[in-house]
Structure 1
Amino acid sequence: MDSYVTSVVSRLQMLYTSDHSSVVSMNLFVALLCTCIVIGHLLEENRWMNESITALIIGVCTGVVILLISGGRSSRLLVFSEDLFFIYLLPPIIFNAGFQVKKKQFFRNFITIMLYGAVGTLICCCVISVGATLAFKKMDIGSLDVGDYLGIFVTSTFFVVSILSFSQSLVLLCCYFPAIGAIFAATDSVCTLQVLNQDETPLLYSLVFGEGVVNDATSVVLFNAIQSFDLSHISPRIAGQFVGSFLYLFFTSTMLGVFTGLLTAYIIKKLYFGRHSTDREVALMMLMAYLSYMLAELFYLSGILTVFFCGIVMSHYAWHNVTESSRVTTKHAFATLSFVAEIFIFLYVGMDALDIEKWSFVSDSPGTSIAVSSVLLALVLIGRAAFVFPLSFVSNLSKKSANEKIGFKQQIIIWWAGLMRGAVSMALAYNKVI
């Protein structure tokens, strides 16, 4: 009996210690988030620094401190969860992108944006996939295990830092090079948008922003489609099924987002919640937006694409049916949630960049890691160029006015804007279903 009581007490003590450690970690992490916001505000006038870069640097510095305190065992306060990203952090980021988009410019350049974001992503994915397959076979690398791929991302720190947190249990074999293409095809144009003025360069800003969002959605849809097929033995039938699956996911996800947005606008208009409480209007818009994302995930569609178009439709219809106070509240509430989620991600990535396990893989095979990283970086550059310049030429053919055409300098900026890798790349790299 005494031994049983002792066992229960020890378990309770362990549970208390574990809970207390979690509380301490969360306190420190929230304090770091506040620090990022304050420093980001102080650097507001600096064109080359934004909150994302600030969070990244603070994360790296924090990782160094934790690494020293822990004796080289860990550099993180929290363990990143794939579910945490996909269920809680990603939806507000994507929804706010659709909710805040300048619809006039977006739809005026819709065809060009879809060319860049959808067709261009497919071209980039193919270039990276085929190039990686040929290059790695020529280098006689063979099947790459988790260590090799972790080394790839570690040695590419400052270019693809957002996918350094590659899942420890993830194993990518040569037959999954298409998945590598989908991961590296996902871009992050946030840094470029920080140095572009939406009023001075409306066309360029619209194209970079629009391509970034559609590209993220396309990459996720493409990645999910790749996981559903065995592309190691490609045939015309499998290729046709793959294209059909991609188009089905793309258009079905879009229509689900549009339907949810229209349904929300109809409910708000007919029931007129604002006559009693503006809180209900705001709550309904938030919950319906989140519901659209979760429904898409429930039916194995693209939640990113769904919640993005749900945001666009809500901002055009539902937003105009609510009271003035609700308009102000929803605009700032969605922007705040998106802002905090992005800072959280980059702060964690900065700490995880110093993960001792990943760097130990690099030290075991530095030559392989550097060689593969160089190949992938070169393929990303080539993949971007392979669609930006040809598709810009095609787009210019349909433009009559010289002001609407995409100049060569603008094409260079668009090409360069897509070289950064962000939150979606990290999320795809974390996916363990591959």
Structure 2
Amino acid sequence: DVAWDTIRVPVASNVTTVLLPVDVGTTQLVATTAPPVIVPGNVTINTTSTTTVEVPVVVPTASAIPVGKRDVYLANGFFFLAVLLGLSLLGGQFLKWARVRWLGESGLATTLGLLCGLLLYSLRAETMLEKVLELNEEVFFFVLLPPIIFQGGFCIDTKTLFKNFGTIVWLAVWATLCSFMFIAGAVFLAGQLELCSPWTIHEAMGFATVISATDPVAVLSVLKSLSTAGPLLSGLIAGESLLNDAICLVLYRSLIRWEDRSLVHALQTFIYVFASSCLLGTAFAFVSSLVYKFFPRDNGGNNGGYELASRRLASEEVEHARYERGDQERSAGYGYSVVLEVSVLVLFVWMSYLLAEGLQLSGICAILFCGIFMRKYT
């Protein structure tokens, strides 16, 4: 299992077989044949020439590694990522304990990532390990991003969100669009005036979507440490940041599908995708709330402490009876089950995301609004 690439090489004199390196970026003096005949590790020729020709080169890929060795690379790579994650989490707690004001958790995580990247680069880590740890678009959008967006929507203060929904939408939608158009226009105009490398309008708009997505993690961490910051300001920033991320992702996807059509068509696509995705996520949240109405409630036992206050008010006899009844229902298989509720919750969340992506909508917007309305109604 190999991948083919092509390099341009100058032709030598009367040579029949020459070793050829597998590094695509290098140049090797070889003789030619028409077409070139590839022998593993060599180039075999029939006739010679004096011109520069293109010679295909066999380049090993990650899938060409034996299964056992690839498992070793995977284990080492994910162990390295786990150590990096642990250092980031423990370091963030240490910063809080030591009351370090000049460095936040996000800054620490960024610094650790840069240092580890420089370390791997200086050690010249093997190419196959880099392939295993390579972050592509599919892994980011389908594995890493959905849980983060859902957690942000599910854990947000819905009371503050809905009370100030108009302000948040204004900041997230219209302010983001204004920022997007200003940055895209400025970059495109700078290229036309030869102040920088000239960019097409499509490239300038793609750059603007990336820059317009703000990350309020550092801002929220600072606000939480300030006693003067109330819940209103934190709620506005958190709500705006969530919708801002969703808006920028929809803009990015709309630009990918834009091709050579008009700007008005791209704007129509953006509005349609955003509105449809929000409605789809909201619909899944309401369906999940209806499904949860048929779930049995806990009648005692270890339910995570949800009825701790009521147990304190109940007498010992009533509490003992509730424990026995709960144990009987759980042993019969139709009692309260935390595993079942969590499984159904995750199922509805992923269904909303995957269906939105299958309909060429925005799964991020769908999963965000699904989390928001699940928090309020489920």
Q: What amino acid is aligned across from residue 276 of structure 2 in structure 1? A: T
- Maintained 8 Å contact 1:66/1:74: no
Supply the distance in 1 between the matched residues of 2:69 and 2:134 (Cα, whole angstroms): 17
**Structure 2 residue aligned with 1:265:** 289
Which stretch shows the higher mean deviation, 220-229 or 78-87? 220-229
Query: Which of 316, 331, 346 in structure 1 is aligned with 2:376?
Result: 316
Q: 1:269 to 1:17 in 2, by over 3 A?
A: same
Task: Give yes or no for contact 2:77–2:129 (8 Å, CA) kept in 1.
Answer: no
Query: Residue deviations 1:390-426, cap 9 Å, x none?
Result: xxxxxxxxxxxxxxxxxxxxxxxxxxxxxxxxxxxxx
**TM-score under structure 2 length normalisation:** 0.67
Structure 2: how far apart are the matches of 1:284 and 1:72?
42
* Equivalent position SS for 2:240: helix
Preserved contact between residue 161 and residue 239 of structure 2 (Cα < 8 Å)? yes
SS at match of 1:139: coil
Quick check: 1:67–1:75 contact (8 Å CA) kept in 2? Answer: no
Q: How many Å apart are 1:229 and its aligned residue? A: 2.5
In the other structure, the counterpart of 2:360 is: 300
Partner of 1:413: none
Structure 2 Cα separation of the partners of residues 230 and 132 of structure 1: 20
Counterpart of 1:122 in structure 2 is: 177
CA shift in 2, pair 1:41/1:139, >3 Å: same
Contact map agreement 2:212 2:248 (CA 8 A) in 1: yes
Match of 2:167 in 1: 112
Q: 1:208 to 1:48 in 2, by over 3 A?
A: farther
**Residue 49, structure 1, aligned to residue 109, structure 2:** no
Q: Which amino acid aligns with 2:189?
A: L
71-80 or 245-254, larger mean C-alpha shift: 71-80
- Contact map agreement 1:296 1:302 (CA 8 A) in 2: yes
Residue 202 (structure 1) aligned with residue 231 (structure 2): yes
Residues 75-114 of structure 1 aligned to structure 2 (within 5 Å): 78-114=133-169
* CA distances 1:25-69 after superposition (whole Å, capped 9, x unpaired): 211221221122112111123344343322221222222222222
* Aligned partner of 2:79 among 27, 38, 52: 27
Instruction: Give the aligned partner of residue 330 of structure 2.
Output: none
Distance, in Å, in 1 between the alignment partners of 2:297 and 2:270 is 39
Runs of 5+ in structure 2 lacking a partner?
1-62, 299-334
Deviations 1:290-337 (A, max 9, x none): 21111111111111111111011111111xxxxxxxxxxxxxxxxxxx
Q: Deviations over 1:115-172 (max 9, x none)?
A: 110011111110011111110111165556xxxxxxxxxxxxxxxxxxxxxxxxxxxx
Cα displacement (A) at 1:71:
7.3
Equivalent residue letter for 2:349 = A
Would the aligned equivalents of 1:99 and 1:314 in 2 still touch at CA under 8 Å?
A: yes
* Letter matched to residue 66 of structure 1: L
Q: Percent identical across equivalent pairs?
A: 29
Change (3 A) 1:12 1:181: closer
CA distance in 2: counterparts of 1:241 and 1:12, whole angstroms: 44
Query: Contact conserved, 2:105 with 2:218, CA < 8 A, in 1?
Result: no
Alignment RMSD, CA only? 2.6
CA contact (8 A) 1:66 1:75 kept: no
Change (3 A) 1:13 1:64: closer
- Greater Rg over alpha carbons, structure: 2
| Alignment of 1:40 onto 2:92 | yes
TM-aligned CA deviation for residue 218 of structure 1: 0.7
Q: What amino acid sits opposite 2:231 in the alignment?
A: P
Determine helix, strand or coil for the equivalent of 1:300: coil
The equivalences for 1:50-65 within 5 A come to: 50-65=104-119
Residue identity matched to 1:202: P
Q: Measured at CA, do residues 93 and 221 of structure 1 come closer, stay the same or move farther in structure 2, by a change above 3 Å? A: same
Deviations 1:325-381 (A, max 9, x none): xxxxxxxxxxxxxxxxxxxxxxxxxxxxxxxxxxxxxxxxxxxxxxxxxxxxxxxxx
Instruction: Give the 3-state SS of the residue equivalent to 1:270 in structure 2.
Output: coil
The within-5 A match list for 1:34-433 is 34-44=86-96, 45-70=99-124, 78-139=133-194, 173-197=200-224, 200-230=229-259, 238-272=262-296, 275-318=335-378
The separation in 2 between residues aligned to 1:37 and 1:75, in whole angstroms, is: 24
The verdict on how the C-alpha distance between 1:39 and 1:255 changes in structure 2, with shifts beyond 3 A counting, is: same
Distance apart, 1:230 and its partner CA: 4.1
In structure 1, stretches of 5+ residues that fail to align are 1-10, 145-172, 319-434
Identify the residue that residue 17 of structure 1 maps to in structure 2: 69
Q: What is the Cα deviation at residue 18 of structure 1?
A: 2.3
- 8 Å contact from structure 2 (residues 191, 198) kept in 1: no
**Contact persistence 1:113–1:210 (CA under 8 A):** yes
In structure 2, C-alpha distance between the alignment counterparts of 1:13 and 1:130, rounded to whole Å:
47
How far 1:257 sits from its partner (Å)?
Answer: 0.8
> If each structure's helix is expressed as a fraction of its own residues, which one has the higher value?
1
Structure showing greater relative contact order (alpha-carbon pairs closer than 8 Å, 6 or more residues apart): 1
CA contact (8 A) 1:117 1:212 kept: yes
CA shift, 1:102, in A, is 0.7
As a proportion of its length, which structure holds more strand? 2
Instruction: Please give the TM-score of this superposition, normalised by the length of structure 1.
Output: 0.59
The CA distance in 1 between the partners of 2:65 and 2:160, in whole Å, is: 59
CA distance in 1, matches of 2:343, 2:202: 45
